[in-house]
Amino acid sequence: MELLMLENFIDGRFLPCHSYIDSYDPSTGEVYCKVPDSGKEEIEAAVEAARKAFPSWSSRSPQERSQVLNQLADLLEQSLEELAQAESKDQGKTLTMARTIDIPRSVQNFRFFASSILHHTTESTQMDHLGCLHYTVRTPVGIAGLISPWNLPLYLLTWKIAPAIAAGNTVIAKPSELTSVTAWMLCKFLNKAGVPPGVVNIVFGTGPKVGEALVTHPEVPLISFTGSQPTAERITQLSAPFCKKLSLELGGKNPAIIFEDANLEDCIPATVRSSFANQGEICLCTSRIFVQRSIYNEFLKRFVEATRKWKVGIPSDPSASMGALISKAHLEKVSTPLSSKLQKVFGREAQHKHHTHWP
Ligand code: NAD
């Protein structure tokens, strides 16, 4: 099998890297792709390109930038099937999910911000007694550093790129090293859509190496991050000395609360879907369910029955409800019995206490 070799995209050009890391097909466990193992050098090159592109891109009118974003959306839409197949293979999610959610939403992200920038308004305050009018003008910050996770790869990456460039910023994006393929495919459309060189730079590699080089670069005043809490803590610490603008979208342990008057016909399929869609790899997935004691047994029986009907299959199988988990490490994490996780968090005694409170 021929390996897919990704390259960084800097200043409108694909550039090879000095070293590469393996990327796996989660459904087979085989290495099928090599991802650039970038570092400081690549970030320097991307910063230079983004800095050079900023004056001209930020002084374009919102109408002009909007047109470019719409053009990009159209190109992505024309390649929806190709992108969906790539996303499913790279991430392990079902092809159905990639076709109906991930890629259509990526297209919509560009369309949404292409429209939103045309209707953008700001506030003003009149102070008649002083003869003053205070008003706000929003200006782009410069180079935005965008770091995205592996669960909804193109969806969340474009959700960051689209608003940043619509507002006149230039960007350096770093997708997850586990799911870099659709970001690399996106690069092919950027020049075609008329995105000027240097406006969008995509640099691939690991968090500790290239991610930290981006976060600590003094010429990148804004970091937008989606991912886990520990990484967010690290990014906050690293960027604090620079007083960077930070946007952090993190994980949660979202509970569903089911009361006895709930309509179980609707509630059971909704709860199964909210728990297991995208293999349960969504930040807003239900990870705890609180059920009123009076309907607990009934709910549990029906929830388990409905869950058993969910088919785990190869991602391209149209009848599969769930594909493959992203990595072996993640499989081990979610397979760890709840009791040992509790033990880690609460210690032996508290673990026992918690068990006795559960029906
Ligand atoms: P992660 O924190 O391990 O990685 C996210 C990104 O950060 C990756 O690109 C990674 O390479 C990079 N990174 C890792 N260490 C870094 C460092 N030291 N410096 C800079 N960058 C670094 O998260 P993940 O496992 O890829 O993603 C899953 C997490 O994302 C889950 O917790 C999930 O709930 C959360 N998530 C949240 C949202 C949301 O909107 N709130 C959406 C999707 C996922």
- The predicted model scores a pTM of 0.93
Confidence grade of residue 346 (pLDDT, cut at 50, 70, 90): low
Q: Which of 178-192, 295-309, 342-356 has the lowest mean pLDDT?
A: 342-356
3-state secondary structure of 258: strand
> What does DSSP assign to residue 57?
H
Of 249, 265, 290, the last residue of a domain is: 249
* pLDDT (0 to 100) of residue 345: 65
In a domain, 135, yes or no: no
354 has pLDDT over 60: no
Comparing 128 with 1, which gets the higher pLDDT?
A: 128
Instruction: Mark whether 187 and 95 lie in a shared domain.
Output: yes
> Pick the catalytic residue: 44, 48, 219, 249?
249
3-state secondary structure of 152: coil
249 is catalytic: yes
Of 217, 234, 249, the last residue of a domain is: 249
Pick the residue whose CA is nearest to atom 10 on ligand 1.
207
Cα–Cα distance for residue pair 185/11, rounded to 1 Å: 16
Comparing 359 with 64, which gets the higher pLDDT?
A: 64
* pLDDT (0 to 100) of residue 129: 85
Is 150 near ligand 1, meaning CB less than 6 Å away? Answer: yes
Of 223, 249, 275, the last residue of a domain is: 249
Instruction: Mark whether 94 and 109 lie in a shared domain.
Output: yes
Cα–Cα distance for residue pair 66/56, rounded to 1 Å: 15
Q: How far is the CA of 160 from the centre of ligand 1 (A)?
A: 14
Mean pLDDT of the chain: 94
Q: How far is the CA of 302 from the centre of ligand 1 (A)?
A: 34
Instruction: Mark whether 100 and 149 lie in a shared domain.
Output: yes
* Cα 131 to chain centroid, rounded: 47
97 has pLDDT over 70: yes
Taking residues 191-206, what's their average pLDDT? 98
Is 37 near ligand 1, meaning CB less than 6 Å away? Answer: no
Pick the residue whose CA is nearest to atom 26 on ligand 1.
149
Is 177 near ligand 1, meaning CB less than 6 Å away? Answer: yes
Strand partners, 4: 33
Q: How far is the CA of 175 from the centre of ligand 1 (A)?
A: 9
Instruction: Mark whether 296 and 235 lie in a shared domain.
Output: no
Dihedral, 183, 188, 192, 198 alpha carbons, nearest 10: 70
- Ligand 1 atom index nearest CA of 174: 9
What are the start-end ranges of the E strands in 205-313?
222-226, 245-249, 254-258, 286-291
Is 207 near ligand 1, meaning CB less than 6 Å away? Answer: yes
In a domain, 338, yes or no: no
Taking residues 267-290, what's their average pLDDT? 95
Q: Which of 179-193, 199-213, 284-298, 327-341 has the lowest mean pLDDT?
A: 327-341
308: containing domain: 255-327
Instruction: Mark whether 27 and 82 lie in a shared domain.
Output: yes
Confidence grade of residue 340 (pLDDT, cut at 50, 70, 90): confident
* pLDDT (0 to 100) of residue 342: 66
Q: How far is the CA of 162 from the centre of ligand 1 (A)?
A: 19
Cα–Cα distance for residue pair 73/162, rounded to 1 Å: 10
* Interacting residues of 235 by C-beta distance below 8 A, sequence separation 6+: 147, 211, 215, 223, 225, 246, 248
Taking residues 227-241, what's their average pLDDT? 97
Taking residues 44-56, what's their average pLDDT? 98
Please state the domain count of the chain: 2
* Interacting residues of 203 by C-beta distance below 8 A, sequence separation 6+: 8, 9, 10, 36, 38, 42, 43, 46, 172, 173, 174, 210, 214
Taking residues 17-27, what's their average pLDDT? 97
